[in-house]
Amino acid sequence: MGKRNKNKLYNQIFEKVTISGVAAEGVAIARHDDRVIFVKYGAPGDVVDIQIKKTKRRHLEGEIINFHSKSHLRTKPFCEHFGICGGCKWQHLAYGEQLQQKQKQVTDNLQRIGKVDYEYELIPINGSSNTKFYRNKLEFTFTDKRWLSPDEISSGEEITNTEALGFHVPGFFDKVLDIKKCWLQSEPSNAIRLSIKEFALKNNISFYNFRGKTGFLRNVIIRNNEKGEFMVILVCSPGDQEKRDALLSHIRDEFPQVVSLHYMISDKKNSSVSDLDAILFDGTPYLEEKMEGLQFRVGAKSFYQTNSSQAYELYKIARDFAELTGEERVYDLYTGTGTIANFIASRAKEVVGIEYVEEAVVHARENAALNNLYNLTFVSGDMAKVLTEDFIHQHGAPDVIITDPPRAGMHPDVTQRILHSNAQRIVYVSCNPATQSRDIEMLASRYRVQKVQAVDMFPHTQHVESVVLLENKNSN
C-alpha cells in the first residue's frame, strides 16, 4: 500500500514551493508536506512549481517547470551548454553564494559527521581568482551518435550530422554532447578540439560507437600549463596508422602551442586510460609547471591539481597549517607525484612520502631530483599495509603528518596508525568534506580541530577542498 501511494506522486506537480537550500551533491533542496525534494538548477529563495520525476524512500526528485519568483542569488549562466552538459551545475548561482554554500558544506559536515564543536578557528574560504578558463586538463569523447536536443527529436527531420566531440551527458553512457565552446580551459583548447573534429570529418576518420564498440577515434585529452604550452593525447583504436599520423601531424602543424603530442592505442570496452601507454609523437614528453621556484614535470598520465593557481593557494595553506620550523620529520600520506612534499621540503628536516601508484612515486623522485631536494624519501604501496609500526620504526616517528587521501578518505587501519604515531600535528587536505569529517571523528580521542579553511578549486561546481589542522591534545 505504501509503495503504491508513493508512486502516485510520480509526475505530480507541487505549486509555489520555495527552494530552501543547496545539497552537497549540487542540487537544490525544497520541502513540501514534510517531504524533502531535490531539484536541479534551483537557487535558495526561488518560488517554483515542481514536477516529481523520481520517488525515493527518503526523498523525492523533481524538475522546476515554472517560476513564480526568482531568487536574488541567481545570475545568468554564461555557457550555452549549461543545463545539459552537467559539468558546471552552479553557473546559475552568483559566485559569492557558491563560496558561502561550499564553506557551509565543510562546517556542516564537521559538526554533523565529525562531531566537532565550534571552538576551532574558521578562516574564510579561499575563492578562485579565475572563475572561467581555470582548468589545466580536459578530456573529450568522440561518438558517431551524439545527444539530440528535444527540438531535434520532435522536428521529424532526418538528422545527418550525428558525430560529436564533447562531454558525456549525465545518465547516458553512449550519448555525448557536441561542445561548441567550453569555458573551463583557456584557448586554444576550443580551437584544438574543433579543428580535430573538422579534420576527422573531412578525411573520413570514423568516430567511436559505444554500443557497437566500433570506430577509430575515442578520446582526446588536452593539458596546458601556466606558460600557455599545451599537451594533446589522442586515444584511438588499433589500426589506421596512416589516418592517425595524419591527424596528429595536423595538430602539430596547426597549433605551435602544442609542445607535447602523444597518442594511446585502446581496444578496451571502457574509456579509462590509466593502464594505457602514452606514445610520444612529437615534442617533449611532458609539460613543466613552476611554483615558488620549484619545477614539476607533468607527463601524459601524471596527476597534477587541475586548477594550477588554486593548487598554489591550497599548498600554501597546508604549509602554513603545518607550522614547520625546519626541525620536523613530516609524513606526506597519499603523496601522488610529490607536489606537497616538494613544496614543504625546504622548511622540514625530512619528508617521507607514501603513495599507492608506483608510477607516481617515480615521478615524485624525478621532481625531487629536478629541484635538488635531498631530504625527501618516497615509498610506494597500499597505505594500510605500508604505514605500520615497523615502517615508523625504520623511518622515525613523524612530528607532522600531512594527508591528502582520495574521495573515499582513509582506511580505518590508517587512522589507527596515525593515532599511534602520536604526531604533534595533522594537516588533513580533502576533496570530500564528508569522509574527511568521518576520519576526524575517528581521530578525536587524541586530536582536536584547531583551524579550518576551505579552498575553491572548481568554480561553478559543488566541489570544494577542505584543509583542517588537528593538534595533539597532549602537546605542550
Looking at the domain assignment, is residue 327 inside a domain?
yes
Query: From CA 10, how far away is CA 13, in angstroms rounded?
Result: 9
In a 3-state reduction of DSSP, which class is residue 68?
strand
Residues 263, 381: one domain?
no
Residue 263 is predicted with a pLDDT of: 97
DSSP secondary structure letter of residue 159: P
CATH number of the domain bearing residue 60: 2.40.50.140
Query: From CA 329, how far away is CA 282, in angstroms rounded?
Result: 42
Residue 320 is predicted with a pLDDT of: 97
Residue that has been written with the C-alpha cell 542569488 in this structure: 73
Residue that has been written with the C-alpha cell 553564494 in this structure: 97
Residues 327, 275: one domain?
no
Looking at the domain assignment, is residue 299 inside a domain?
no
Residues 324, 358: one domain?
yes
Catalytic residue among 79, 85, 236, 431: 431
Residues 118, 217: one domain?
no
Residues 454, 321: one domain?
yes
Residue 303 is predicted with a pLDDT of: 85
Residues 195, 334: one domain?
no
Residues 179, 287: one domain?
yes
Looking at the domain assignment, is residue 147 inside a domain?
yes
Residues 149, 190: one domain?
yes
Looking at the domain assignment, is residue 88 inside a domain?
no
Residues 338, 383: one domain?
yes
Residues 267, 253: one domain?
yes
Segments in the chain below pLDDT 70? 1-6, 476
Percent of the chain with pLDDT over 70: 99
Active site residue 431: yes
Among 308, 312, 316, 266, residue whose Cα is nearest residue 287: 308
Whole-prediction pTM value? Answer: 0.92
Residues 38, 158: one domain?
no
Looking at the domain assignment, is residue 77 inside a domain?
no
The helix (H) or strand (E) run that includes residue 448 is strand 447-455
Domain end, chosen from 230, 261, 291, is at: 291
CATH number of the domain bearing residue 441: 3.40.50.150
**Cβ-contact 429, 455 below 8 angstroms:** no
Q: Where are the alpha helices (DSSP H) in 10-127?
A: 95-112
Q: What are phi and psi of 311, to 5 degrees?
A: -60, -40
Instruction: Report the number of distinct structural domains present in the chain.
Output: 3
Q: At what angle do helices 433-442 and 412-421 cross, to 10 degrees?
A: 50
Looking at the domain assignment, is residue 50 inside a domain?
yes
Query: From CA 417, how far away is CA 329, in angstroms rounded?
Result: 16
In a 3-state reduction of DSSP, which class is residue 105?
helix
Looking at the domain assignment, is residue 89 inside a domain?
no
Domain span holding position 22: 2-69
Looking at the domain assignment, is residue 221 inside a domain?
yes
Residue 6 is predicted with a pLDDT of: 53
CATH number of the domain bearing residue 251: 2.40.50.1070
Residue pLDDT, tens place only, 235-259: 999 999 999 999 999 999 999 999 9
Residue pLDDT, tens place only, 10-52: 888 999 999 999 987 889 999 988 889 999 999 999 999 999 9
DSSP secondary structure letter of residue 135: B
What is the overall mean pLDDT for the chain?
93
Residues 150, 286: one domain?
yes
User: How many CA within 13 A on the CB side of residue 55?
Assistant: 11
